[in-house]
């Protein structure tokens, strides 16, 4: 589980999404019964919040599923729709964090031509 | 065609027959739908084993319907002493009050049975007649029937209960009823969308017994919505009713997405398109800007939030692209369909930019324009770097998902919409003409935004330069000189797709047409090949692919006509704009003052009424918005700085027209117009 926490901390470090300017939201990720990491976005910047922070939404899933999302093998939204990722609270907030948990989103490949 | 009764609340809607029954079949996709899943596929009332007959039906409010029934008459005269009233309210399922009245002098014993089933079909499965892959189950608990469906962790449940004691089995709730002479019996029935997969369980339906006052999920109530819309004053009863219907339907089609639950965007249409659509939401918001500008703000925020960020071939996603469609059903969840979201539209991105500028011009909401700068720049980059796939200066499309992606990614998105004059299919990639017009308009508008709000005059100059060059080249490359109109598209080999279609009207709206060519375009739009008498048909009747009941190859689409009317007005053809508007509005009374998505393209002289298109959505958002845009065109409404400019050209049959309390950056303003002799209607400069 430490692996996941380390991974999430690395993912959010220095991340910025201009579309989320002016917003302050938190999303908890629960992996199993004991591991819980709270990620926040504040005016577009992502960071890890203290563990006791009240979250706007909570995602819960197995480590396997989390890693599949991280590797871009599973879309976060369809994972929620299928019930592989549980969501409690505001789904819209979960979607804001998709770009953090699925870093493939940030890759901007060259156009086809 | 047998009438269907539809009521809706956000993303939940019920489509039944006029008796209130749900008995689905391939030809009649009836049911209770929620988040793109059918939670109830059978709901059939019988009295002593017989289905009652309808006397009258009323969809009283958009979320409420009443059905007045009698036991099925054996002869042509109804002499029943029993009457049945079903009152239904939709919201997180539905509540139904069932009332039986015995008008006879003797008591009656009846078996009242409600037959039920839930197939949990995804809307795509309903449309394409596909089989389910999971397992259905049921259980009976606490006087409640639970119908469920499971596929791996994907679980959906419908809970059905009644306030009167019932015998419950997996297919029905049965009541043994004794009604005294001149007495009555009633029960409440609740059908709850209990587990929809995205939220914690719903524990009750939205409207309980006796609740008939509309409660919006969020935002403005129906009464406030109607009160805040401009008041139309006209002696033309049909126009007044059509306007009122449009305003109410726009309220009904407000959709609260799971991905942005704090604002309502217009869903595309009932029953197939109760979902967020990029193109439809943008165009509807544009049509409604002078009336309910808040729709545009919500649409822009929603689409920006879900703007493409990466290349994903399954979803046709690309960085900066604006989405096409979002779905929540099983096939999307299991990635058997790409709608999570799907980005297969080449026009939604420039349309998004057009809406952003138009929204600021009407409302003066500069905060939103500044907040959207990043998204707008991303959309502009998409146009140049991804939309123009081969570097020829035109945006073209081809799906990267040949299995489940859309073949056509323009507004005419059916597979056979883009045809040559001889009726043959145009091979992709396709650069459709109206998309080039939208790109031209988007760049011109974003140049204004860049200069005025983004403090980037260099970008403004570049965009203006690119737009001018696009206009110059387009007027050469798409123009078919010997036929006098613009090609529908350039195909994969850069051949002109040479059929005459309504798309040329969108070009007028965009402003990309050289002044010298406008008159010939107008002659075609109002000529007998395209103009039916009820409006402009999508494809001219002498084209090889023409079919008056073909979805995009001959039908009349009111939203298409509304953009054409605005284009005619833009180029100064104001009498013609009025003609297009009035011909469409004349069709509205035949559809209960609710213009449908599309109707058949037969010539008006052939029938004295517009012929229905069999599977048209109604209400449909951009058809609902069409009368609003017609009004804007007739009154010549345009923001100029902080004032509303009014330059009316009212057709003689309307006499006088007043639109009062038009909201905008000026506060509220009024517009007046009255018909003048045609010779006095001047062309705009």
CATH code for the domain of A38: 3.30.1050.10
Which residues from chain B sit within 8 angstroms of residue A82, using beta carbons? Answer: 152-154, 333-334
Q: Is B295 in contact with B288 (CB distance < 8 Å)?
A: yes
Low-confidence stretches of chain B (pLDDT beneath 50): 684-685
Domain total in chain A: 1
Distance separating alpha carbons of residues B598 and B604, to the nearest angstrom: 15
Minimum-distance CB partner of B386 among A81, A106, A111 = A111
Strands (E), A3-113: 24-31, 35-42, 45-49, 57-61, 86-89
Mean pLDDT throughout A76-99? 86
Residue B430 is given by DSSP the state B
Q: Do the domain assignments include residue A106?
A: no
CB contact under 8 A, B200 and A92: no
pLDDT at residue B685 in the model: 43
Q: Mapped to the 3 state alphabet, what secondary structure does B152-174 carry?
A: CCEEEEEEEEECCCCEEECCEEE
**Is it the case that residue A72 has pLDDT exceeding 70?**
yes
Minimum-distance CB partner of A105 among B305, B309, B389 = B309
Give the chain A residue whose CA is nearest to the CA of B314. A75
Domain of A43 in residue numbering reads as 2-99
Strands (E), B479-571: 479-480, 485-486, 489-490, 496-497
SS3 B645: strand
The H or E element that residue B369 is part of is helix B366-371
The H or E element that residue B366 is part of is helix B366-371
Question: Starting from the edge strand earliest in sequence, which strands make up the sheet with B656-664, in order?
Answer: B231-234, B656-664, B667-674
pLDDT at residue B260 in the model: 76
pLDDT at residue B219 in the model: 57
CB contact under 8 A, B385 and A82: no
Q: Do the domain assignments include residue A16?
A: yes
What are residue B312's DSSP bridge partners?
A: B317
Q: Do the domain assignments include residue A33?
A: yes
SS3 A82: helix
Q: Is B51 exposed, middle or buried (0-12, 13-18, 19+ CB in 10 A)?
A: middle
Reported confidence tier of residue A108, pLDDT bands at 50, 70, 90: very low
Minimum-distance CB partner of B389 among A21, A82, A113 = A113
pLDDT at residue B504 in the model: 98
Distance separating alpha carbons of residues B337 and B328, to the nearest angstrom: 10
**How many residues would you count in chain B?**
685
User: Between vectors from CA B615 to CA B612 and to CA B620, what angle results, nearest 5°?
Assistant: 85
Q: Using the structure block, give the residue that is written with the tokens 């217009």.
A: B266
Strands (E), B473-567: 479-480, 485-486, 489-490, 496-497
Q: Chains A, B: CB contacts under 8 A, how many?
A: 78
Alpha carbon B113 to its chain centroid, in Å, reads 36
pLDDT at residue B220 in the model: 67
Q: Is B191 in contact with B40 (CB distance < 8 Å)?
A: yes
Give the chain A residue whose CA is nearest to the CA of B198. A81
Q: Do the domain assignments include residue A93?
A: yes
**Is it the case that residue A67 has pLDDT exceeding 90?**
no
Distance separating alpha carbons of residues B353 and B359, to the nearest angstrom: 10
Residue among B553, B550, B523, B551 at smallest CA distance from B538: B553
- How close, in Å, is residue A33 to chain B by CA atoms? 19
Q: Do the domain assignments include residue A105?
A: no
* Contact with chain B for residue A62, Cβ under 8 A: no
Which residues from chain A sit within 8 angstroms of residue B385, using beta carbons? Answer: 111
pLDDT at residue B410 in the model: 98
Q: Do the domain assignments include residue A104?
A: no
- How close, in Å, is residue B199 to chain A by CA atoms? 7
Residue among B626, B632, B638, B664 at smallest CA distance from B246: B626
DSSP B9-69: ETTEEEEEETTS-EE--SS---EEEETTEEEESEEEEEETTBPPEEEEEEEEETTEEEEEE
**Is it the case that residue A45 has pLDDT exceeding 50?**
yes
**Is it the case that residue A96 has pLDDT exceeding 90?**
no
CB contact under 8 A, A91 and B259: yes
Give the chain B residue whose CA is nearest to the CA of A104. B310
Which residues from chain B sit within 8 angstroms of residue A104, using beta carbons? Answer: 310
Spatial neighbors of B647 by CB under 8 A, at least 6 apart, are B635, B636, B638, B684
User: Between vectors from CA B87 to CA B191 and to CA B180, what angle results, nearest 5°?
Assistant: 105
Distance separating alpha carbons of residues B319 and B375, to the nearest angstrom: 10
The H or E element that residue B242 is part of is helix B237-252
End-to-end CA distance of chain B: 48
When the pLDDT of each residue in chain A is averaged and rounded to a whole number, the result is 82
Half-sphere exposure of B533 (CA within 13 A, CB side): 11
Minimum-distance CB partner of A83 among B154, B259, B262 = B154
**Helices first, then strands: H and E counts in chain A:** 5, 5
pLDDT at residue B680 in the model: 55
Spatial neighbors of B212 by CB under 8 A, at least 6 apart, are B60, B61, B64, B89
At A12-26, the pLDDT tens digits run 888 888 878 888 999
Does B341 sit behind a cis peptide bond, omega within 30 degrees of 0 on the bond before it?
yes
Give the chain A residue whose CA is nearest to the CA of B155. A83
Spatial neighbors of B384 by CB under 8 A, at least 6 apart, are none
Mutate to test the interface with B, among A59, A73, A83 (most CBs of B within 10 A): A83
Alpha carbon B440 to its chain centroid, in Å, reads 25
Q: Do the domain assignments include residue A65?
A: yes
Q: Do the domain assignments include residue A32?
A: yes
CB contact under 8 A, A88 and B200: yes
pLDDT at residue A103 in the model: 65
Which residues from chain B sit within 8 angstroms of residue A18, using beta carbons? Answer: 374
Model pTM?
0.92
* Contact with chain B for residue A71, Cβ under 8 A: no
Minimum-distance CB partner of A95 among B155, B259, B332 = B259
- How close, in Å, is residue A9 to chain B by CA atoms? 22
pLDDT at residue B338 in the model: 97
Distance separating alpha carbons of residues B392 and B400, to the nearest angstrom: 19
Mutate to test the interface with B, among A104, A111, A112, A113 (most CBs of B within 10 A): A111
At B598-622, the pLDDT tens digits run 999 999 999 889 999 877 777 899 9
* Contact with chain B for residue A60, Cβ under 8 A: no
Does B271 sit behind a cis peptide bond, omega within 30 degrees of 0 on the bond before it?
yes
CA-to-CA dists, residue B315 to A6, B247, B404, B407, B582, angstroms? 31, 34, 9, 13, 40
User: Between vectors from CA B345 to CA B341 and to CA B348, what angle results, nearest 5°?
Assistant: 95
CB contact under 8 A, B389 and A105: no
User: Between vectors from CA B223 to CA B221 and to CA B227, what angle results, nearest 5°?
Assistant: 115
CB contact under 8 A, A81 and B333: yes
Distance separating alpha carbons of residues B452 and B381, to the nearest angstrom: 20
Mean pLDDT throughout A67-80? 86
Give the chain A residue whose CA is nearest to the CA of B200. A88
The more confident residue out of A37 and B571 is: B571
């Amino acid at each position: 589980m430490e692996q996941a926490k380390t991974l999430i901390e690395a993912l959010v470090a220095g991340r910025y999404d201009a579309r989320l300017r002016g917003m302050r939201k938190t999303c908890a990720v629960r992996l199993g019964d004991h591991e819980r990491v709270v990620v926040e976005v504040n005016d577009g910047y992502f960071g890890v919040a203290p563990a006791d922070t009240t979250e706007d939404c909570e995602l819960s899933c197995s480590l396997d599923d989390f890693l599949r999302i991280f590797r871009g093998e599973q879309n976060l939204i369809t994972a929620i729709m299928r019930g592989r990722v549980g969501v409690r609270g505001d789904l819209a907030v979960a979607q804001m964090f998709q770009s953090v948990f699925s870093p493939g989103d940030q890759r901007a490949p060259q156009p086809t031509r | 065609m047998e009438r269907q009764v539809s009521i809706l609340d956000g993303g939940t809607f019920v489509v039944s027959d006029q008796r209130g029954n749900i008995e689905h079949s391939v030809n009649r996709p009836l049911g209770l739908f929620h988040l793109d899943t059918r939670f109830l596929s059978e709901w059939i009332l019988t009295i002593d084993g017989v289905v009652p007959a309808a006397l009258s039906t009323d969809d009283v409010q958009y979320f409420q319907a009443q059905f007045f029934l009698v036991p099925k008459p054996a002869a042509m005269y109804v002499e029943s002493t029993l009457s049945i009233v079903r009152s239904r309210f939709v919201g997180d399922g539905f509540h139904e009050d069932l009332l039986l009245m015995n008008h006879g002098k003797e008591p009656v014993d009846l078996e009242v049975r409600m037959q039920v089933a839930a197939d949990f079909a995804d809307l795509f499965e309903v449309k394409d007649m596909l089989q389910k892959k999971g397992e259905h189950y049921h259980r009976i608990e606490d006087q409640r029937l639970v119908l469920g469906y499971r596929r791996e962790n994907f679980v959906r449940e419908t809970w059905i209960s009644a306030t009167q004691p019932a015998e419950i089995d997996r297919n029905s709730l049965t009541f043994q009823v004794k009604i005294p002479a001149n007495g009555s019996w009633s029960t409440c029935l609740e059908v709850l969308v209990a587990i929809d997969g995205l939220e914690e369980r719903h524990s009750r339906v939205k409207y309980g017994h006796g609740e008939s006052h509309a409660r919006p999920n969020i935002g403005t109530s129906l009464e406030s919505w109607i009160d805040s819309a401009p008041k139309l004053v006209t002696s033309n009863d049909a126009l007044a009713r059509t306007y009122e219907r449009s305003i109410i339907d726009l309220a009904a089609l407000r959709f609260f997405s799971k991905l942005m639950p704090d604002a309502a965007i217009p869903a595309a249409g009932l029953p197939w398109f109760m979902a967020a659509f990029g193109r439809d939401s943008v165009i509807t918001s544009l049509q409604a800007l002078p009336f309910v500008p808040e729709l545009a703000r919500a649409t822009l925020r929603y689409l920006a939030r879900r703007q493409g960020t990466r290349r994903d071939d399954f979803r046709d996603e690309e960085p900066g692209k604006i989405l096409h469609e979002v779905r929540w059903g099983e096939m999307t969840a299991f990635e058997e369909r790409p709608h999570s979201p799907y980005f297969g539209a080449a026009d939604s991105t420039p349309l998004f930019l057009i809406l952003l500028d138009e929204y600021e011009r009407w409302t003066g909401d500069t905060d939103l324009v500044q907040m959207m700068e990043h998204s707008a720049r991303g959309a502009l980059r998409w146009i140049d770097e991804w939309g123009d796939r081969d570097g020829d200066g035109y945006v073209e499309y081809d799906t990267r998902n040949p299995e489940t992606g859309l073949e056509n990614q323009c507004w005419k998105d059916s597979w056979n919409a883009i045809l040559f004059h001889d009726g043959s299919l145009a091979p992709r990639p396709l650069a459709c003409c109206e998309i080039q017009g939208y790109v031209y308009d988007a760049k011109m508008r974003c140049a204004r935004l860049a200069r005025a709000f983004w403090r980037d005059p260099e970008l403004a100059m570049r965009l203006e330069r690119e737009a001018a060059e696009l206009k110059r080249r387009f007027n050469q490359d798409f123009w078919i000189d010997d036929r006098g109109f613009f090609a529908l598209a350039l195909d994969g080999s850069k051949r002109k797709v040479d059929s005459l279609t309504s798309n040329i009207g969108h070009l007028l709206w965009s402003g990309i047409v050289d002044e010298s060519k406008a008159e010939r375009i107008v002659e075609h739009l109002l000529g007998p090949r395209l103009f039916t008498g009820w409006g402009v048909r999508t494809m001219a009747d002498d084209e090889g692919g023409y079919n008056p009941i073909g979805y995009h190859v001959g039908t009349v689409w009111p939203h298409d006509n509304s953009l054409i009317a605005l284009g005619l007005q833009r180029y100064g053809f104001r009498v013609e704009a009025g003609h297009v508007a009035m011909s469409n509005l004349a069709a509205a009374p035949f559809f209960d003052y609710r213009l449908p998505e599309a109707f058949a393209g037969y010539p008006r002289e052939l029938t004295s009424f517009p012929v229905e298109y069999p599977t048209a959505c109604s209400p449909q958002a951009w058809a609902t918005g069409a009368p609003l845009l017609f009004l804007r065109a007739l009154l010549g409404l345009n923001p100029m700085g902080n004032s509303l400019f009014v330059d009316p050209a009212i057709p003689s049959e309307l006499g006088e027209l007043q639109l009062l309390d038009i909201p905008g950056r000026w506060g509220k303003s009024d517009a007046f117009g009255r018909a003048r002799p045609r010779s006095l209607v001047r062309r705009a400069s």
